Amino acid sequence: MLVLSGIVVVIAGFAARINALSVIVVAALLTGLATGLNIVEVIAALGKAFNDSRYISVVWLILPAIGLLERAGLQERARALIAGLRSATTGRLLTLYFALRQITAALGLTSLGGQAQMVRPLIAPMAEAAAESRLGPLPDDWRQRIRAQAAAVDNIALFFGEDIFIAIGSILLIVGFLAGSGVRVAPLALALWAIPSALAAALIHGIRLRRFDRRLSLALSVPRVLTGAPE
């Protein structure tokens, strides 16, 4: 039971909003000590785990390219593209991106999106511009909410799209685990069971985005009616 002390530290530390990196290191050290390793062995185990996990941080290699394009005006270009479309709303634009992201992920093309590659440079500025061109200047709290919605769309569409692709990691993990338990299963049989949840995700999130649109235009157009400013 002592090995669960790390989990307790993580939950308490995150709840108390202590610096997350420090919480993780303390949790890792405690968990290691609880298994009977000495402090030097625990630090070495953490070091090995960190070194083996470097591939996760390779994603930051994208930042110089994104920053360079922002310097040249990419976000302004993305805004201008959307400002020219009269029928574009924040909700409709994000719904379209949701559909594209989910369909490409289902085909195994998970790299055609992402928070650093697509959301920050293109999708978030477009979603903001769609609101601005219809409803005027955005108050800061709504700008923040729109950005959070853009990030959420990328995640949800990815998670509930990729599992339809038969060669994705989670499907292969299930096949391997079940084989170890004596159950033979074809990846396709698993992938088919991902389709109902994928459709449900699209429906549920589509409805939420429509409601977000309504709340957005309500919040931003009421003050203008009250002040009598022209549309």
Partner 1 sequence: MIGLGSVYLVAGLMFAGFAFASAGDRANVKRWGNAAFWGLFALSFLLGDRLGDLANGVLVIVMVLIAGLGGLGQGRPPTTDAGRRRASSERLGARLLVPALAIPLVTLVGVLGLTRLRVGGAPLIDGGHATLVSLTLGAVVAVALGTLLLRQPPGAAAQEGRRLMDTVGWAALLPQMLASLGAVFALAGVGPVIGELAGGLAIGGPYASVAAYCLGMALFTMIMGNAFAAFPVMTAGIGLPLVVQANGGDPVAMSAIGMLSGFCGTLMTPMAANFNLVPAALLELRDRHAVIKAQIPTALALLAFNIALMAAVVYR
Q: Which of residues 21-50 bind partner 1 (CB under 8 A)?
A: 21-22, 24-25, 27-28, 31-32, 34-35, 40, 42-50
CA dist., res. 30 & res. 26, Å (int): 6
CA dist., res. 37 & res. 45, Å (int): 10
- Indicate whether 19 belongs to the interface with partner 1 (CB under 8 A): yes
Q: Which window, 2-10, 83-91, 130-138, 217-225, contacts partner 1 (CB under 8 A)?
A: 2-10
Q: Considering the complex, state which of residue 88 and residue 164 has its C-beta at the smaller distance from partner 1.
A: 164
CA dist., res. 44 & res. 46, Å (int): 5
Alpha carbon 25 to its chain's center: 25
The one among 20, 179, 218, 222 contacting partner 1 by CB under 8 A: 20
Whether residue 132 contacts residue 138, with contact meaning beta carbons closer than 8 Å, is answered with yes
CB 132 → partner 1: shortest distance, Å? 14
Binding to partner 1 in span 61-90, by CB under 8 A:
61-77, 80
Binding to partner 1 in span 184-223, by CB under 8 A:
185, 189-191, 193-194, 196-197, 200-201, 204-205, 208
Place of tokens 């909700």: 91
CA dist., res. 18 & res. 79, Å (int): 37
The one among 53, 137, 226, 229 contacting partner 1 by CB under 8 A: 53
Binding to partner 1 in span 143-172, by CB under 8 A:
144-145, 147-152, 154-156, 159-160, 163, 169-170
Going 39 to 41 to 45 to 48, the CA torsion angle's sign is positive
The one among 117, 133, 217, 221 contacting partner 1 by CB under 8 A: 117
CB 228 → partner 1: shortest distance, Å? 30
Q: Considering the complex, state which of residue 92 and residue 208 has its C-beta at the smaller distance from partner 1.
A: 208
Q: Considering the complex, state which of residue 12 and residue 224 has its C-beta at the smaller distance from partner 1.
A: 12
Buried b (16+ CB within 10 A) or exposed e, 25-64: ebbbbbbbbeeeeeeeebeebbeeeeeeeeeeeeeeeeee
